[in-house]
Structure 1
Amino acid sequence: MKRGKVSTSWFLAWSFFILMGSLIIYIGYRVTLTESSQNRAQIANEATQTVLVGSERAVGDTRIDGSKIISQLQMKDNSISIKKDQVIRDGIMIVLGKDNSMEKHHELKDFPCPVSGNPLRKSGNYYSVSLGSYLFHAGTDYAVAEGAVIRASQGGKVTFSGLDLMLGQKVTLDCGEGWTVTYGGLDNLRVKVGDTIETQEALAQVGIYPGAEGVSDQPQLHYELWHGNEIQGI
C-alpha cells in the first residue's frame, strides 16, 4: 500500500512539474512572439516612413524641376507672344503711314508764313533811332490788319508767352528737332507757357507793338524761325 501511495505521489509531483514547465515554456513563447511582432511592426513602420520621406523628396525635387521647365516654357511663350504683337503693331504702323523708319522730319517748307500780308522788313541789321545803334532783326515783319487771328504754322510746345520789350506781346514755340518759331506784335494771347499747340491752332491776335526799329505805327506780325542757332529765311 505504501509503495502504491509513493508511486502515486511521485506521479502527481512529476505531472505537476511537467505541467508547470510546459506552462512556463508556453508563456515564454507567447512573450517572444509578441515582442517579435511589435519589433516587426516597428521595423515595418520605420521602413514605411523612410519610403514616404524618400517619395516626398523625390516628388519635391520633381516639382521643382517641373516648375523650372514650366517657367522656361512660359518665358519662351511670352517671348514669342511679344514678338508676334510687335510684328502686328509694326504692320499696323506701316499701313497707317506711321512707321518710325519712314517718319517725316521737319523742313523749312513745313513752316510757311501764317499770313499773306506784305513784308515790311526782313531779317538783317537795322538802325534804331531810339537806341542810337544798329540792331539785328531776326525775323520778318508782315503788315496785317489789327485783330487778325494768328495760327501756328507748325505745332509745338509753348516756351514763352508774354511781353517782350522789342517785339511787344509774343509767343515762342519749340517744334522739336531744333526748330523754334516766334510770333511777335500780338495781342489777346490765347496760350501759356507749357501748352502743347497743334498746327493751325489759334495763338493770339495781331496788335500794335512799339518796336525798336523800322515802322512801328501800324499793326504787323513779327515771324521768326530758327533751326538750331541759325535764323531761317522766310
Structure 2
Amino acid sequence: MRLMHANDADEGGRFLGDPLVELTDVDFSYRGGAGESSHPVLRGFSMTIARGECVALLGPNGSGKTTIMRIINALEFPDSGTYRLGDTEVARELVERRDSPFAKSLHQHVGFVFQNSDTQLFCPSVEEEIAFGPVQMGLPDAEIARRVDDMVALFGLGALRDRAPYRLSGGEKKRVAIACCLSMNPDLLVLDEPTDGLDERNTDIVVDVLRSFVAAGKTVLFSTHHHDIVERLDPRIITVRPIDAARD
C-alpha cells in the first residue's frame, strides 16, 4: 500500500510537517438528561499535531483524552473553539449535512480505533472486516484484495482470516480493528488505549506496526496508561488535566 513520506525534522528534533490537526480554545461539556446539569470536560483546550508526528495524550481518567479523540473523529463537536483538519474547519453542519462528501473524506483520512474493539467489529469474518472500508471507498476489487492481503500479513492474521470476530481473543480483536483502519490508508490513526489488556505478543505486534506507520510518514495520536509503550514509541507527549486540576 502506497504511503506518503514525512518531512525531515530540524536539528532540534522539531517536526517540520504542516499542521494536520489544530484544536484551538475548545470547550466541551456532555449534556445531562432532563433535570440534570451538563458535565464540563474541556475548557480552553488547544493542541496542534503536525503531519508525520507520533503524539501521546496522557492524563488521569476523566481528564478528556477520549473526548479529544472523539472530536478529532467528528463524533463530538466543540461547544466553542475550533477544530481544523488540514485547511478545513470541521463543524457540525459540514459533517452532518445529508450525503456530505466531507464526512466521507474525513473518515477515510482519519482512522479511529476504539478502546473496546467490539464496538467496531460487525462483519461475518475477519477478511470482510478488513475489506469493508476499502469497499465503501469504491476501490477496484483487485485493490481491495491487495489491501486485505497486506493487512493480513502485517498483523499475522492468516489463521484467523475466515473466523468470525466474536470468536477472537481481545488481543486478536484489537489487531483486526487496527488492520481495518489501516486498510483505508489514513493520514492520521487515532487510538484509545491501543495496548490495554493485550498480552506481550499482541502488544509487540501493535507497537511494531505503529512504528512502521510513523516511519512511513503517517501520523499517530494515542492515549495510554502504559508508560512502557510510551517509551517504546517515543512520542511527543501532551498532558491533559481535569478542569478542576487545571484551575489550581
TM class by shorter chain equals under 0.3
More strand by share: 1
TM-score computed with the length of structure 2 as normaliser: 0.19
**TM-score scaled to structure 1, two decimals?**
0.20
Give the structure with higher Rg (CA).
1
The structure with higher relative contact order (CA 8 Å, sep 6+) is: 2
